[in-house]
Structure 1
Amino acid sequence: MRETHIALIREGKVPVDSRVTLTPDQAVEVQKQYPHLKVYCQRSERRCFTDAQYEEAGIPLVDDVSHCDIMLGVKEVPIPELLSNKTYLFFSHTIKKQPYNRELLQQILEKNIRLIDYEKLTNGKGNRIVAFGRFAGIVGAYNGLYTFGQKMKLFNIRRAKDCYDLEDLKTEYAKIKLPPVKIAVTGAGRVAKGAMEVLNGVGIRKVSPQEYLNTSFDEAVYTQLMVTDYNIKKGGGSFRRQEFFNHPEQFEPGFLPYTKHTDLFIAGAFWDHRAPVLFQREDMLTDNFRIKVIADITCDIEGSIPSTKQPSTIEQPVYDYNPEQDTVVEEPYANNKFVSVMAIDNLPSELPRDASRSFGENLIKHVFPNLLGEDDGMIARATIADKGKLTEPYLYLQDYVAGR
């Protein structure tokens, strides 16, 4: 059998991501499982696992990866670094027709690259196989609490990025002391579960949406909101989940009641651009809009949350939003009338070691058997481009690629 060469490519997108797809130990492990496989590590100064750690594990360090067949990255590969006639796996952020990545997909087709998008790797039931969602939720909720503590001058905790790993971050929980505030979390997937993992760890009690809206508490509480809790069928009628997912445009927003009771909002639910927005800028100007901090883990720019005007960064995690002028105020906590927004778009990078280790485990267990052996359909479903063309499931991107 011909030897297959895999490259762990350096991350070139700015800001640079420190996550990896395989840790040094995992790179060794996968070669033991697949004797015909050889893993190479492209040199990088920004990984959470150093070049020296890969070298000590016996993984060759290289600058040139053109001899490799499969390129494993995390974020989008800069266009000048794309190599023709290769297989790439990374989060391409093209499937929603993101304008900023149109040229990336154009060049992938031009260079005859097979693009496999992690976001579309699913099992037979449609459930995602590999994701950083849990750690996005963990860091997002933690950052939300950090922001709330800073804004309200309640407590000081270390930034997640300054903690070595998740266990180290958990040592900060005891410092978080909250008055009787209310926290709303949207979503039911990995992100929301990660967020609730933190809230539970801090000792904040979970209550039902009904209790949340109708009861006063003498302690901090949180509620988890599903799509059924904040979307209403137009014209009345019962809420059918599948109908909502198929035709979200047939629903109207029902989130406003929660804005009157929420101090910290943690947004962890996927949002379809056809679905209702959660609230409008005008709603934020009313006297009964109570939200002081929004931790927007989804980071949908100009999406369901009007204050998410731009992403924040790990270096500058928070900005204020002035709803009167619909503008961003770069210096946070400047005015109590403003809403403080945490909208970092690469949250798992603040706990890169844990996030990378979990990601690599799922790659080895679920993806490599299909990628390196017989595909049960998983790889085909996630292949956006091949042989210079969009694959059939992604033909809807043709107008996007053409710039129409």
Structure 2
Amino acid sequence: MEKIKIGVLREGKVPIDKRVPLSPKKCLEVLQAFPKAQLVVQPSPVRCFTDEEYTSLGLPLRENLANCDVLMGVKEVPIDHLIPNKTYFFFSHTIKKQAHNQKLLQAVLAKNITLIDYECITNEQGDRVVAFGRWAGIVGAYNGLLTYGRKWNLFHLKPAHECYDMEDMLEEFFKVKNLPAIKIAVTGGGRVANGALEVLERMKLKQVSVFDYLYKEFNEPVFVQLRSSDYHVRPDVSVWDSKDFYQNPHLYQSTFDKFAKVTDLLMGCAYWNPAAPVLFTPEDMRQPEFKINTVADITCDVDGSIPCTKRVSTIADPAFDYNPETGELAPAYSAEKNITVMAVDNLPCELPRNASRDFGRQLIDEVLPHLVNQDQQGVLARATITKGGQLTERFQYLQDYASGGLTKPE
């Protein structure tokens, strides 16, 4: 029986990412579940799991991974780290023609690398099966509450990235004793939104219906989950149809203004198509009845569905203020009249141990069975961007991008 040699990459992208595709215990599970698999781990001084945590379980460390058949990382691999003629798994961030990764895709083609992008691994229904979305939602919701507490000087939570893991972060919740009777809106219904809801539920905040959220007053903090149908309308159609909305978002209008009038903290977790309407406009934010004062833009679409998200923020400096009167940005918490925005674009990095364990679970359940059994169902083939020095058929639309042409502005 021929073995498949898998190398766990050290993350080389700057800024540093501490996540791993497979934690030490998940590596052991791989070896137990898939006798055809062999594993080696590239040493790393910054990984959230130490080298010793791997070696203590008998997992070998190896700097040179040239003998491996498959190399698995998380984020983009630096061009000078790419080994020719190998199969790589990582989030390449190239499928939307992102300008900053054009040279990476060109190098992958030039080095005859087979690139399988996690973002493109889907089931038969087209749903993604490996993602960090849940952890973006968990950390984003926590950061949103942290930001609201600091804005109004109610409480000061330890930043998520200073917490050892999820359990440590949950301990911080006990500090939230004086959250006023605010209303929190969570948009979306996918992994990200579910992660955010998980935090609010663990805090034992009360979830209410859309009707009650809009029309009732409460003497305690409450939250609502909003789906696309709650804040969009197609003027020429009287019945909501989700399929039509996703196929023809340009035909719809936003009705989010009714929520903006009663919401204190907005947690943006919904995927946004640029052809769809924005939730609200800069002009809307200048109206006296516009109540939102804190935004956790967890999906982090710059100049997207939430217009006050004018830039990405960082883990070290996660928030900024937006002045609705001038449209200008200011330091976070600089004026109560400003809208304070949290827009970190790499939220799962703040709880890397938990996020990595969860991701490894998905790899073991959804990816490795196809990898070790020669992808008989074509699951990995659908996610393969390059092979044999060429773009695969599904990704031929990237040809101009790969040739040095059109890119998507950052």
CA deviation profile, 1:141-172 (whole Å, cap 9, x unmatched): 01100100000111122221222222222222
Equivalent position of 1:68 in the other structure: 68
Letter in 1 for 2:163: C
Partner SS state of residue 265, structure 1 = strand
Query: Whole-Å Cα distance in 2 between the matches of residues 161 and 204 of structure 1?
Result: 23
Equivalent position of 1:55 in the other structure: 55
Q: What RMSD, in angstroms, separates the aligned Cα atoms of the two structures?
A: 1.6
Query: Whole-Å Cα distance in 1 between the matches of residues 121 and 366 of structure 2?
Result: 10
Equivalent position of 2:230 in the other structure: 229
Number of aligned residue pairs: 403
Partner SS state of residue 315, structure 2 = coil
Shift in Å, 1:234 = 4.0
Equivalent position of 1:368 in the other structure: 368
Equivalent position of 2:271 in the other structure: 270
- Residue 303 of structure 2 corresponds to residue 306 of structure 1: no
- Residue 379 of structure 2 corresponds to residue 401 of structure 1: no
Identity percentage over the alignment?
50
Equivalent position of 1:15 in the other structure: 15
> What pairs with 1:206-285 in structure 2 (closer than 5 Å)?
206-285=207-286
Shift in Å, 1:122 = 1.5
Partner SS state of residue 168, structure 2 = helix
Equivalent position of 2:204 in the other structure: 203
Query: Whole-Å Cα distance in 2 between the matches of residues 82 and 254 of structure 1?
Result: 48
Shift in Å, 1:241 = 0.4
Letter in 1 for 2:10: R
Higher mean C-alpha displacement, 179-188 vs 110-119 = 110-119
CA deviation profile, 1:297-340 (whole Å, cap 9, x unmatched): 101122211122222111111122233443332x3101112211
Shift in Å, 1:63 = 2.1
Letter in 2 for 1:208: S
CA deviation profile, 1:115-158 (whole Å, cap 9, x unmatched): 11111211222222111111111111011001000001111222
Equivalent position of 1:136 in the other structure: 136
Stretches of structure 2 that go unaligned for 5 or more consecutive residues are none
Shift in Å, 1:361 = 1.2
Letter in 1 for 2:196: A
Query: Whole-Å Cα distance in 2 between the matches of residues 262 and 84 of structure 1?
Result: 53
Higher mean C-alpha displacement, 132-141 vs 169-178 = 169-178
Query: Whole-Å Cα distance in 1 between the matches of residues 390 and 323 of structure 2?
Result: 45
Change (3 A) 1:81 1:325: farther
The answer on whether the counterparts of 2:322 and 2:328 sit within 8 Å (CA) in structure 1 is yes
Change (3 A) 1:230 1:31: same
Higher mean C-alpha displacement, 93-102 vs 186-195 = 93-102
Query: Whole-Å Cα distance in 2 between the matches of residues 334 and 234 of structure 1?
Result: 40
Query: Whole-Å Cα distance in 1 between the matches of residues 335 and 230 of structure 2?
Result: 31
Partner SS state of residue 364, structure 2 = helix
Letter in 1 for 2:151: K
Stretches of structure 1 that go unaligned for 5 or more consecutive residues are none
Query: Whole-Å Cα distance in 1 between the matches of residues 305 and 109 of structure 2?
Result: 32
- Residue 347 of structure 2 corresponds to residue 352 of structure 1: no
Letter in 1 for 2:14: V
TM-score by length of 1: 0.95
CA deviation profile, 1:11-32 (whole Å, cap 9, x unmatched): 1222211111111121122123
Equivalent position of 1:5 in the other structure: 5
Letter in 1 for 2:327: D
> What pairs with 1:166-177 in structure 2 (closer than 5 Å)?
166-176=166-176, 177=178
Letter in 2 for 1:113: I
> What pairs with 1:71-90 in structure 2 (closer than 5 Å)?
71-90=71-90
Shift in Å, 1:4 = 2.1
Change (3 A) 1:82 1:280: farther
Query: Whole-Å Cα distance in 2 between the matches of residues 211 and 99 of structure 1?
Result: 45
Shift in Å, 1:86 = 1.3
TM-score by length of 2: 0.94
Partner SS state of residue 386, structure 2 = strand
Shift in Å, 1:396 = 2.4
Higher mean C-alpha displacement, 141-150 vs 168-177 = 168-177
Equivalent position of 2:105 in the other structure: 105
Query: Whole-Å Cα distance in 1 between the matches of residues 212 and 30 of structure 2?
Result: 49
Query: Whole-Å Cα distance in 1 between the matches of residues 281 and 354 of structure 2?
Result: 37
Shift in Å, 1:363 = 0.7
Query: Whole-Å Cα distance in 1 between the matches of residues 81 and 326 of structure 2?
Result: 41
Query: Whole-Å Cα distance in 2 between the matches of residues 192 and 348 of structure 1?
Result: 14
Query: Whole-Å Cα distance in 2 between the matches of residues 327 and 116 of structure 1?
Result: 41
Equivalent position of 2:393 in the other structure: 392
Partner SS state of residue 107, structure 2 = helix
Query: Whole-Å Cα distance in 1 between the matches of residues 97 and 338 of structure 2?
Result: 32
Query: Whole-Å Cα distance in 2 between the matches of residues 5 and 344 of structure 1?
Result: 36
Partner SS state of residue 341, structure 1 = strand
Higher mean C-alpha displacement, 259-268 vs 226-235 = 226-235
Letter in 1 for 2:354: D
Query: Whole-Å Cα distance in 2 between the matches of residues 82 and 274 of structure 1?
Result: 36
Shift in Å, 1:289 = 1.6
Change (3 A) 1:273 1:400: farther
Equivalent position of 2:145 in the other structure: 145
Letter in 2 for 1:22: L
Partner SS state of residue 129, structure 2 = coil
Shift in Å, 1:62 = 2.1
Letter in 2 for 1:360: G
